[in-house]
Amino acid sequence: MQQPKKLGRGLGGLIGINPPVQVEVPLQHAPSSPTVLEPVAAPPITQEPGTPVVRYIPVAKIIPSPYQPRKIMDDDAIARLAESIKRAGVMQPIIVREKSGMFELVVGERRWRATRHAGLEVIPALVKELSEEIAAEWSLVENVQREDLNPMERGWALRALAEKFNLTQADVADRVGLERSSVTNLIRLTDIESEIAELINKGQLGLGHGKALLGIPSGNERVELAQNAAQNGWSVRKLEEEIRIIADAKRLANDTSRQEKLAGRQAVVSEMERRIADHLGTKIRITTDTSGKKGKITLDFYGLEHFEGLLTRMGVPER
């Protein structure tokens, strides 16, 4: 039987962390403000074997994750979170891994940024030994299903995961707990023009708009259509209707052009049939392939004498 996706239990399920969490507060890194201690209770006298240990890590020794999918940080939201941290402390530890004498963020960049904004010197953290691939996966899992992570950021993050670790889209879908079709659509979005990507980044267009626009060829027309959709506040359905109207108009124009070409070609063929028929004195039919470059000529004859007369007119020598 297929194992259930761990993402369904949240990031804690994926990481394998369940309460209680043991707290370790080194004296040299202990928080200076008593309010910071409130959310991380003092360690109990007894500790269960294998309980994860939370350490207080200097904020200055933490570096951002290279796999962070979020490219746009909301400064106002960070400031609000910082005010909350000043009042109640960091309620949930971040996750880091040691790297070159520093600590690289894996999960919790917003908490780290807000803690730094709040002016605190340390932050509670779980220090994990993680491979590059697992670190990337955990960073994605924390962010990829957040409602405020825009589709372009999701798409680029999923694409980076697939390309860096040579994963198929099915592999990526399984890793982050999304449907394969969702992963495919998000990764396809990274091929869209930069002008349209910017509209999606700003929230003026959504994933549905992007999917609809991917259904037409790239180029200026697609960009202009996206800009019209953003400026006029089109819904996805309205954009799809506009795309259908354009496609129908092009199809009609192509059909009209094709009919005109066929009519012109038939006129030429008919003239050739008339000229040959006048010269040979019999009925002639010319048929061509769809390209009009290859075909055959059929002529009628009514008896051997008529046939020999046709051969003479065509210049076929007698034996």
Q: Cα–Cα distance between 62 and 106 in angstroms, integer?
A: 10
- Tell me the residue range of the domain where 296 lies: 247-313
Q: Is residue 136 part of a domain?
A: yes
pLDDT at 313 > cutoff 80? yes
Q: Quick check: is 132 catalytic? A: no
Q: Cα–Cα distance between 310 and 206 in angstroms, integer?
A: 72
Q: Is the pTM of this model over 0.85?
A: no
- Catalytic entry in 104, 109, 142, 153: 109
Question: 149, 167, 196 — which closes off a domain?
Answer: 149
Please say whether the beta carbons of 18 and 38 come within 8 A: no
pLDDT at 223 > cutoff 90? yes
pLDDT of residue 20: 39
Question: 134, 149, 164 — which closes off a domain?
Answer: 149
Cα Rg, the chain, nearest whole Å: 35
- What is the identity of the amino acid at 183? V
Q: Is residue 129 part of a domain?
A: yes
pLDDT digits (tens, 9 = 90+) for 102-147: 999 988 888 998 999 999 999 999 998 888 888 877 877 776 656 5
Confidence of residue 4 (pLDDT cuts 50, 70, 90): very low
pLDDT of residue 188: 93
Number of folded domains in the chain? 2
Please say whether the beta carbons of 142 and 15 come within 8 A: no
pLDDT at 268 > cutoff 90? no
Query: What is the 8-class DSSP label of residue 105?
Result: E
pLDDT digits (tens, 9 = 90+) for 146-203: 656 788 888 888 888 888 888 899 988 888 788 899 899 999 999 999 999 999 988 8
Question: 94, 120, 149 — which closes off a domain?
Answer: 149
